[in-house]
Amino acid sequence: MSRKGFIPLGNRMGEGRPPGYDIGGAVVVQWAVALLRRAGLWGRGLVLAVPYLWLLLFFLVPFLIVFKISFSEAELAQPPYTALFAWLTDDSGEGGKLQIILNLGNYIRLWADDLYVLAYLSSLKMAAISTLLCLLLGYPMAYAIALAPPSRRGALMMLVILPFWTSFLIRVYAWIGILKANGILTGILSSLGLVDEHFEILYSDTAVYIGITYTYLPFMILPLYATLEKLDRTLLEAAADLGCRPWQAFLKITLPLSIPGIIAGSLLVFIPAVGEFVIPELLGGPDTLMIGRVLWNEFFSNRDWPVASAVAIALLAFLVVPIMIFQYVQGKQDAEVRR
């Protein structure tokens, strides 16, 4: 197989196809190939072009469009927002002018209306508390697995990941039966005489904390385990030889060395949790305010696409810093592994 082995791969995807291929211009193709080769783009570059173009078209461009629509006004039409750019001509069809209308009203509304500000703040709070709960529960688990004999680590990690493979919606749903009044948890607690039988956790912020912690726990454990497993155990032995107590050694050696894992895991939980919709919708009460829910309602109930877009852009703005930190940590870990 020659270097051309990559061509069918590109063609199958229908992208990264050399221009002129369809018109049957074999000469054009040859010329383009020669040009690309000279530019060092043939082969690698062509292969790369396929996922690159896909991501540009379906990941980056969408955000630009959301950004654009957040400046338009809602209207009763299809699509339900006004155009930002208009080509104005006078009656005779002459004197074309480009008109751009930027409507900042959506963003002003976000600030002026308490609902949005409160929803953003409460989302940040709920995500932060859930992240902390995941860390408190996940750290000892990850550490216990990292300390287990190597032959058992794989199976123990598998047990952590397995629930992640089963439906997320169904796992959230499972908690409804546990947390509701007359549910399983109430039954246990009331038979112990701790609460009366009408006690209900469901439809409260506590239920949302439990739900987020439960569904995102594997995301916390995975990076924590990855850093704790690499930890040099001789450091702990040296500390013990020098008279360090186990908890001191933990605080002075294990914890600081596992900070990259803590950061990566916390961000993997925190960022998606801020925009969470399903968990507060199913487990939270009517007054559980989260921005993902607000966005959903603006979009599906109020049919106000521009405001929904503005909510999304503002949410993204809140998350830019954590996402950048995540990518930085991720990049550093990659570089470390490669070395």
Partner 1 sequence: MKRTGFLSWALWFGYAFLYVPIALLIIYSFNENRLVTVWSGFSTKWYGELLENDQLLSAARLSLEVGAISATVSTILGTIAGLALARFGRFRGRTLFGGMITAPLVMPEVITGLSLLLVFVALEGLTGWPDGRGMTTITIAHTTFTMAYVAVVVQSRLVSMDESLEEAAMDLGARPAKVFFVITLPIISPAIVSGWLLAFTLSLDDLVIASFVSGPGSTTLPMVIFSSVRFGVSPQVNALATIIVLLVATGIFIATMLMARQDRQRLRDEQMAQQGG
In the range 141-180, which residues lie near partner 1 by CB under 8 A?
A: 141, 143-145, 147, 154, 156, 158-160, 162-163, 165-171, 173-178, 180
State the binding string over 204-233 for partner 1 (x if CB under 8 A, else -). Answer: ----------x--x----------------
- Min CB(27)–partner 1 separation in Å: 24
- Residues 231, 145 contacting (CB under 8 angstroms): no
116 belongs to the binding site for partner 1 (CB under 8 A): no
Stretch that binds partner 1, among 96-104, 114-122, 233-241, 331-339 (CB under 8 A): 331-339
Distance CA 119, CA 135 (A): 24
328 belongs to the binding site for partner 1 (CB under 8 A): no
Partner residues linked to 100 by β-bridges: 85
59-78: contacts with partner 1 (CB under 8 A): 59-63, 65-66, 69
Mapped onto helix, strand or coil, the DSSP state of residue 15 is coil
# residues near partner 1 by CB under 8 A: 99
Distance CA 74, CA 71 (A): 10
337 belongs to the binding site for partner 1 (CB under 8 A): yes
13 belongs to the binding site for partner 1 (CB under 8 A): yes
273-302: contacts with partner 1 (CB under 8 A): 274-278, 281-282, 292, 295-296, 299-300
**What is the Cβ-side half-sphere exposure of residue 254, based on CA atoms within 13 angstroms?**
23
Among residues 89 and 166, whose Cβ is nearest to partner 1?
166
- Min CB(275)–partner 1 separation in Å: 2
- Residues 268, 130 contacting (CB under 8 angstroms): no
255 belongs to the binding site for partner 1 (CB under 8 A): no
Stretch that binds partner 1, among 84-92, 95-103, 104-112, 316-324 (CB under 8 A): 316-324
Which of 58, 77, 88, 98 touches partner 1 (CB under 8 A)?
58
86 belongs to the binding site for partner 1 (CB under 8 A): no
Distance CA 157, CA 222 (A): 8
Among residues 76 and 337, whose Cβ is nearest to partner 1?
337
Phi-psi map region of 244: left, alpha, beta (phi>0 left; psi -120 to 50 alpha): beta
- Residues 227, 138 contacting (CB under 8 angstroms): no
Closest to 311 (Cα-Cα) out of 298, 328, 326, 325:
298
Q: Which helix (H) or strand (E) holds 127?
A: helix 114-147
308 belongs to the binding site for partner 1 (CB under 8 A): yes
- Residues 44, 83 contacting (CB under 8 angstroms): no
- Min CB(184)–partner 1 separation in Å: 6
Distance CA 311, CA 292 (A): 9
Residues with Cβ within 8 Å of 128's Cβ and at least 6 positions away in sequence, in order, are 270
Among residues 25 and 277, whose Cβ is nearest to partner 1?
277
- Residues 258, 327 contacting (CB under 8 angstroms): no
Among residues 28 and 41, whose Cβ is nearest to partner 1?
41
